[in-house]
Amino acid sequence: MSNLKEILVNKKICKSVWFMRQAGRYLPEFRKIRSQNQDFIKLCLNSDLSSEITIQPIKRFDLDSAIIFSDILMVPFALDQKVEFLKNQGPILDKFDIKKFLKNNKNNFTKKLTPIYKAIEITRKKLEKKKTLISFVGAPWTLLVYMIGAKLNKKDINFEIIEKKMDEVEIILNELNDYLCLHIENQMKAGADVVQVFDSWAGLIPNNHLNNFCYTPNSKIVNFCKSKNIPVICFPRGIKESYKDFNNLVKPDGINIDYNVDPNWAKENLKETVIQGGLDPKILSLSDEEICNNTKKYLDAFKGLPYVFNLGHGMLPETDPAKVSMLVKFYREYA
């Protein structure tokens, strides 16, 4: 059993390191491929290239886990909503049509995403057995925000859109849950070991709606994963002290903390789970000494506990790969 899976399943205390968005934009070998493949959706659906990109950081840094190169918005794409990734603008989705959305079926959904499952099969064959292959999905709330066009910027959403269509929103979330569980199961059958659920916009949910839009949808996915013996990590980014309620109610095998969560607070409040992550990706732009000192805060706080070293968000495009190499070396050598 690979390190990350063993930690999640058996709460074993052993070293494990990987980074969110480790396969991608900060690596020159990725940028070379990306420059020759301008359509991001098509790149995600190119099984051979997706696998090659997934393996790149493993070859360079010898990390303990690979995370398949894909995107959470491949699910709306497979549900027949046009998705475009525009430079300096991010993802743009066509206007949501619930009638069109409800006409989807699971066979077509799986067929559209089959290249992702093929990429997982190829990657699993390339990876050493001891290394974990991570699959992922976006949480229902986060996908909803993108799909209905509720996101205004990185800090705000138009919650009035959601309040005006609360009945419709409930239907969308339930349908998304079914397709996400299918996507998770398909990825695991293809050879993935672990799934991570990214609720990237959980922090934009008003506190009085956290139960309906964050805890309950994530719980449904976690319960599904547990029924299938699939190790699952949740990342409800930005919910601050509500991480405690999330952990107590959702009960994931692992929980990724963001960089605004104090590691000592997490140690005291997040029980019976494996804590992952925390380091601010911006720290990697600092001096080697500052990077090491900030890393020590997490390693010291979680010493003697099952902890997976990672970031509190994805790797930034401007990150110097040499800094990542230094960080991995320091992590492995730090007692």
Residues 100, 170: contact at Cβ < 8 Å? no
- Dump pLDDT digits (tens) for 261-275: 999 999 999 999 999
The closest of 280, 307, 317 to 295, measured between CA atoms, is 280
Identify the domain containing residue 139 by its residue range: 3-333
Report the alpha-carbon distance of residue 302 to residue 298 in Å, rounded: 6
- Residue 88: the pLDDT is 73
Amino acid at 119: A
Taking phi first (over 0 means left), then psi (-120 to 50 degrees means alpha), and beta for anything else, what does residue 278 get? left
pLDDT at 2 over 60: no
Condensed to tens digits (0 to 9), the pLDDT of residues 242-258 reads: 999 999 999 999 999 99
Q: Tens of pLDDT along 62-94?
A: 999 999 999 999 999 999 999 999 877 789 999
What is the average per-residue pLDDT within 46-69?
98
The model's confidence at residue 1, banded by pLDDT at 50, 70 and 90, is very low
Mean pLDDT of the chain: 96
> The CATH number of the domain where 231 resides is what?
3.20.20.210
pLDDT at residue 189 in the model: 98
Of the chain, the percentage scoring pLDDT greater than 90 comes to 90
pLDDT tens by residue, 122-177:
999 999 999 999 999 999 999 999 999 998 777 888 888 898 889 999 999 999 99
> What pLDDT, in 10s, does the model give residues 181-203?
999 999 999 999 999 999 999 99
Instruction: Please enumerate, as own/partner, the contacts of 280-286 that have beta carbons within 8 Å and a separation of 24 or more.
Output: 280/311, 280/312, 280/313, 281/311, 281/312, 281/313, 281/314, 281/315, 281/316, 281/319, 282/316, 284/315, 284/316, 284/319, 284/320, 284/323, 284/324, 284/327, 285/316, 285/318, 285/319, 285/320, 285/323
3-state helix/strand/coil string of 258-323: CCCCCHHHHHHHCCCCEEEECECHHHHHCCHHHHHHHHHHHHHHCCCCCEEECECCCCCCCCCHHH
Amino acid at 250: V
Structure tokens at 325: 């190499």
Give me the mean pLDDT over the 29-52 stretch: 97
Number of domains within the chain:
1
- HSE of 279, CA atoms in CB hemisphere, 13 A: 33
Q: What average pLDDT does the segment 4-23 reach?
A: 94
Section 37-58 average pLDDT:
97
Tell me what the mean pLDDT of segment 198-223 comes to: 97
Per-residue confidence (pLDDT) for residue 178, from 0 to 100: 98
**pLDDT tens digits, residue range 269-317?**
999 999 999 999 999 999 999 999 999 999 999 999 999 999 999 999 9
Nearest to 308 by CA among 19, 54, 23: 19
CA distances from 320 to 27, 32, 210 (A): 8, 16, 37
Single pTM value for the model: 0.97
The pLDDT confidence band at residue 335, using thresholds 50, 70 and 90, is: low
Q: Exposure of 246 by Cβ count < 10 A (0-12 exposed, 13-18 middle, 19+ buried)?
A: buried
